Amino acid sequence: MSKVLELKNLSYVYGTGTPFEKTAVNNVSLSIEKGEFIGIMGHTGSGKSTLVQMLNGLMKPTSGQVLLDGEDIWANPKDIRKIRFKVGMVFQYPEYQLFEETVAKDIAFGPTNMGKSGAELEKAVNDAARFTGLKDELLEKSPFDLSGGEKRRAAIAGVIAMNPEVLVLDEPTAGLDPMGRDVLLSQIVQYHKERKNTVILVSHSMEDIARVADKIIVMNKSNLVMFDKTKEVFSKGRELEEIGLRVPQITKIMLDLREKGFNVPEGILTVDEAMDCISSLLDKEGKIW
């Protein structure tokens, strides 16, 4: 695999030289491979949103570099707009950015600005609508006539239609009911499987990240404190709790069993994994060895 994004000593300071100076991201270095599904977690104020807004040039680092396919995205500031086609950003509550007469026109806005037209544009719109589960009959409706979940999917489709190398989603399931969250997450996972693009998901939900991410970035007080495979990160459940992050409930239960002396592995993420593990510990009489 080859690197798609590389962060080198990346920092961002708000209010430099004023009494309100605050470091939001402090000297972060890491590499993300093409096709990976990365989760980012951290409590409010940890720096994760500032970090992702530097990935496509919405914010310029105070120091350090963001390399996309080996090139510094700020090497030519006049071309920063092109970077935003390659690293697509879906903000929290993206439905507030809908503005066109129809859903189809809203989805088409990004690819139109990239120069797509005709059949190519129509295909980009239809493919993006399919990925996000928008029915054909909704495409000619006003986006303001859609339900909350449909608006969210339409907004995400507008970014997907640009076919970015990297898709960044900042709390995409915020405010949705449990069914809406599950549907949207499964659609993002399906998009990742089909397109094989890099996906970066910021979420407060440990369960969501545990289900979908290959690797996890953990931010705490502006610093990168962990970056590893999902199972490895969640095997450090007590460390995560110490910085105020709640591990998935099933992971916590299995961690408690392990600390009580039961022979269970670290990093159990799902109920199915836990069932398999516990079943293997039961003898014929139903006792745990």
Most confident range (mean pLDDT) of 90-94, 145-149, 162-166 is: 162-166
Give the span between the Cα atoms of 279 and 268, in whole angstroms.
14
pLDDT of residue 237: 82
For the segment 246-250, the average pLDDT, to the nearest whole number, is 80
For residue 202, what pLDDT band results from cuts at 50, 70 and 90?
very high
Question: What are the structural domain ranges in the chain?
Answer: 248-289
Stated pTM of the model: 0.89
pLDDT of residue 285: 47
Mean pLDDT lowest among 2-6, 167-171, 174-178: 174-178
Identify which has the larger pLDDT, 276 or 222: 222
Tokens 């022979």 found at: 263
3-state secondary structure the chain: CCEEEEEEEEEEEECCCCCCCEEEEEEEEEEEECCCEEEEECCCCCCHHHHHHCCCCCCCCCEEEEEECCEECCCCHHHHHHHHHHEEEECCCHHHHCCCCCHHHHHHHHHHHCCCCHHHHHHHHHHHHHHCCCCHHHCCCCHHHCCHHHHHHHHHHHHHCCCCCEEEEECCCCCCCHHHHHHHHHHHHHHHHHHCCEEEEECCCHHHHHHHCCEEEEEECCEEEEEEEHHHHHCCHHHHHHCCCCCCHHHHHHHHHHHCCCCCCCCCCCHHHHHHHHHHHECCCCCEC
